[in-house]
Amino acid sequence: MFTRRDFLQYSAIAAALTGFSGNLTKVAAQQSLTQQDLLNFDSRGKLTLLHLTDIHAQLKPVYFRPPSENFGVGAFEGIPPHLVGEKFLDHFGLERGSALSYAHTMVDYLDMARSYGKLGGLDRTATLIKAIRAERGDDNVILLDGGDTWQGSYTALKTDAQDMVDCMSLLKPDAMVGHWEFTLGVDRVLALIDQLEYPFLASNVVDNDWEEPVFESTRMVERGGSTVAIIGQAMPYTPIANPRWMMPDWSFGIRAEALQDNVNAARDAGAEVVVLLSHNGFDVDQKLATVVSGIDVILTGHTHDAVPEAINIDNTLVLSSGSHGKYLGRIDLDVKNGKVVDYSSTLIPVFSDVIEPDKEMASMIQSHREPHESELQRVLAKNESLLYRRGNFNGTWDDLLCTGMIEERDAELSFSPGFRWGATLLPGDDVTVEDLYNQTAMSYPSVYRLEFSGERIHEILEDVCDNLFNKDPFFQQGGDMVRVGGMGYSCAPNENMGSRITDMTLLSTGEPIDPKRNYVVAGWASVNEGVEGPAIFDLMQDWLAKQTSIDVQANQSVKFTGV
């Protein structure tokens, strides 16, 4: 049996044989991997869990650069998932230059991307899922969708997520949960749920009037000879991270006590295995594993973290399966006498160039893209930059958006939200309409132009920073740090709220930000209702049309201290 460890070593050997030092050829990289290599796995027991999360409507293969900053604080400092680059490689025993080094880190990213190519593509993922079902047997496999599936692309925006619902239905998931799904609005969400042949679970969403559950909390299934309870958890702070007015009658939250009640009820109903399908985020679920008893597996999402194998926390396995379709999570469980006695786990990187596309899924994807294909491929600008977003602080895509807003809205400063979604673009690739929408496709895209005092700007940055770096993960309410254009600052993640943001500087003059002075600020994705201004994707098309080429260098104006 060719095990996961064999695969890691094989990838490293293949890299060494080709003499990788930033110049591994694409042919050599692809020759070192096969579809079967990705599927080979040290199976255990009869029950297999498969997990997809945070696809963000990416039906086609993409580049997606892993973060260079992912700071943990308090008890979560310096442990997965808060390891990047060579520290990540050292912790998980991965070789620099290997396939998994490229899949999981930004080390040598540009050279590795040109060697190994794109990852993801739902037609490739469909191939892997069908192969695993064929190997293990349909009655032994559970496939779960961790949410953030229906939002994040041009076609998802234009079809109100119908493309994603139709494509995901071909995979035949056993359940899903949600977060950005709710930004389609209550009516559309409920209409799409009615189309599903599997439940939309959310044990932590209740109505405001009677605190009655809005959705099912649990699905019980018989798989692998065991009774399995799947309990769903929507993103707890959806009405804070996203507009409350889009879901005004629903209340969210972590609701750990209610979750414990649901776990107990599942056990009382005969569940031998309890799986939490969660969109809480990795750190929240690491804490939840110590607070709620009786959960065997937490399949987590929201924070886009990717770890090569499940982490065992107080006998609860926690696996985060990345984002954008780059990975397929797998956990095999050996269950005896109503208890999990053994397991094996992995995160399968979906290397698109070595996986045969599933014809049925490819046809469905094409049917949804075809009416929009000419617009998707329309070139907006020439690009000479590595454009990426993911990271705790500014990425180059964010800096590009911030510059465009400042110039198009005649502002001094700009704010771009700390979204984790958005594919990477390599130098030399054209910026197309599809590329732009991969960064901006959402249902509240207006670009405002307002005045904020320097004191208020500091308060905003401190507030967002606390959402990200609060030492208690149960109080981490949003995404990554808001991106700022036209201003530099220093951030100390380990400090307390009010003391993290210092040295705020107006870059155009080099002068400190004056707490008493008002500054004209442009920004987008405000959660307030009735925001006026052009849509970010329209504004940026106008700005890009004026550029001869794009060349955005890495942001050096945001400094980190104490980490």
Q: What is the pLDDT of residues 343-398, one digit of tens each?
A: 999 999 999 999 999 999 999 999 999 999 999 999 999 999 999 999 999 999 99
Whether residue 464 has pLDDT greater than 90 = yes
Which of the listed residues 301, 336, 368 is the one where a domain comes to its end? Answer: 368
Determine the pLDDT at residue 26.
Answer: 58
Is the backbone peptide bond immediately before 81 cis, with ω within 30 degrees of 0?
yes
Contact 546, 466 (CB under 8 A): no
Helix, strand counts (H, E) of the chain: 19, 25
Whether residue 257 has pLDDT greater than 80 = yes
Whether residue 149 has pLDDT greater than 70 = yes
Residues 205, 107 share a domain: no
Residues 510, 467 share a domain: yes
Among all chains, which residue has been given the structure tokens 């009640």? 261
Q: pLDDT-derived band of residue 1, with 50, 70 and 90 as boundaries?
A: very low
Determine the pLDDT at residue 7.
Answer: 47
Contact 342, 151 (CB under 8 A): no
- 3-class SS letters over 318-365: EEEECCCCCEEEEEEEEEECCEEEEEEEEEEECEHHHCCCCHHHHHHH
Residues 71, 41 share a domain: no
Determine the pLDDT at residue 29.
Answer: 59
Q: pLDDT-derived band of residue 8, with 50, 70 and 90 as boundaries?
A: very low
Contact 292, 316 (CB under 8 A): no
Residues 132, 80 share a domain: no
Q: Identify the helix (H) or strand (E) that includes residue 456.
A: helix 454-469
Residues 310, 332 share a domain: yes
User: Quick one: tokens of 456?
Assistant: 């208020």
**Pick from 92, 96, 95, 69: which is nearest to 82 by CA?**
69
Q: pLDDT-derived band of residue 542, with 50, 70 and 90 as boundaries?
A: very high
Task: Name 260's Cβ contacts closer than 8 Å, sequence gap at least 6.
Answer: 292, 293, 294
Q: pLDDT-derived band of residue 15, with 50, 70 and 90 as boundaries?
A: very low
Determine the pLDDT at residue 3.
Answer: 46
Whether residue 18 has pLDDT greater than 60 = no
As for how many domains the chain has, the answer is 3
Name the more confident of 21 and 220: 220
Residue ranges making up the domain that contains 435 = 377-560
Average confidence (pLDDT) over 113-123? 97
Whether residue 5 has pLDDT greater than 80 = no
Residues 286, 172 share a domain: yes
Q: What is the model's pTM? A: 0.95
For 366-395, give one letter per residue: b (16+ CB within 10 A) or e. Answer: eebbeebeeebeeebbebebbbbbbbbbbb
Determine the pLDDT at residue 563.
Answer: 82
Residues 390, 271 share a domain: no
Tens digit of pLDDT for each residue in 283-321? 999 999 999 999 999 999 999 999 999 999 999 999 999
Residues 433, 342 share a domain: no
Whether residue 4 has pLDDT greater than 80 = no
Which of the listed residues 81, 116, 151 is the one where a domain comes to its end? Answer: 116
Lowest average pLDDT, out of 28-37, 139-148, 217-226, 384-393, goes to: 28-37
The β-bridge partners of 357 are none
Q: Identify the helix (H) or strand (E) that includes residue 439.
A: helix 433-440
DSSP β-ladder status, 316-320 and 327-336: unpaired
Q: pLDDT-derived band of residue 2, with 50, 70 and 90 as boundaries?
A: very low
Tell me the HSE value of 382 on the side-chain side, using a 13 A CA sphere: 4
Longest dimension (CA), the chain: 70
Task: Quote the mean pLDDT of the chain.
Answer: 94
Q: What percent of the chain has pLDDT over 90?
A: 92
Residues 382, 314 share a domain: no
Lowest average pLDDT, out of 25-29, 56-60, 288-292, goes to: 25-29
Separation of alpha carbons 166 and 439, rounded Å: 23
Q: pLDDT-derived band of residue 405, with 50, 70 and 90 as boundaries?
A: very high
**Pick from 198, 222, 249, 18: which is nearest to 140 by CA?**
222
How far are the Cα atoms of 61, 170, 269 from residue 162, in angstroms, in the given order?
A: 19, 13, 35
| Chain Cα centroid distance, residue 56 | 7
Which residue type occupies 449?
A: R
Residues 156, 132 share a domain: yes
Tens digit of pLDDT for each residue in 182-233? 999 999 999 999 999 999 999 999 999 999 999 999 999 999 999 999 999 9
Residues 156, 55 share a domain: yes
Task: Name 259's Cβ contacts closer than 8 Å, sequence gap at least 6.
Answer: 203, 204, 231, 233, 276, 288, 292
Tell me the HSE value of 470 on the side-chain side, using a 13 A CA sphere: 13
Whether residue 10 has pLDDT greater than 90 = no
Determine the pLDDT at residue 210.
Answer: 93
Contact 99, 116 (CB under 8 A): yes
Phi (first) and psi of residue 113, to 5 degrees: -65, -40
- Torsion, Cα of 187, 193, 195, 199 (10° steps): -170
Contact 561, 490 (CB under 8 A): yes
Separation of alpha carbons 242 and 535, rounded Å: 17
Phi (first) and psi of residue 360, to 5 degrees: -65, -45
**How many C-beta neighbours within 10 Å does residue 94 have?**
23
Average confidence (pLDDT) over 230-239? 97
Q: Identify the helix (H) or strand (E) that includes residue 522.
A: strand 518-524
Average confidence (pLDDT) over 415-442? 97
Tens digit of pLDDT for each residue in 59-113? 999 999 999 999 999 999 999 999 999 999 999 999 999 999 999 999 999 999 9
Which of the listed residues 368, 399, 418 is the one where a domain comes to its end? Answer: 368
Whether residue 9 has pLDDT greater than 70 = no
Residues 129, 95 share a domain: no
Determine the pLDDT at residue 554.
Answer: 85
CATH number of the domain to which 494 belongs: 3.90.780.10
Determine the pLDDT at residue 28.
Answer: 55
Separation of alpha carbons 19 and 536, rounded Å: 44
Determine the pLDDT at residue 423.
Answer: 98
Separation of alpha carbons 418 and 395, rounded Å: 10
For 315-348, give one letter per residue: b (16+ CB within 10 A) or e. Answer: ebbbbbbbbbbbbbbbbbbbbeeeebeebbbbbb
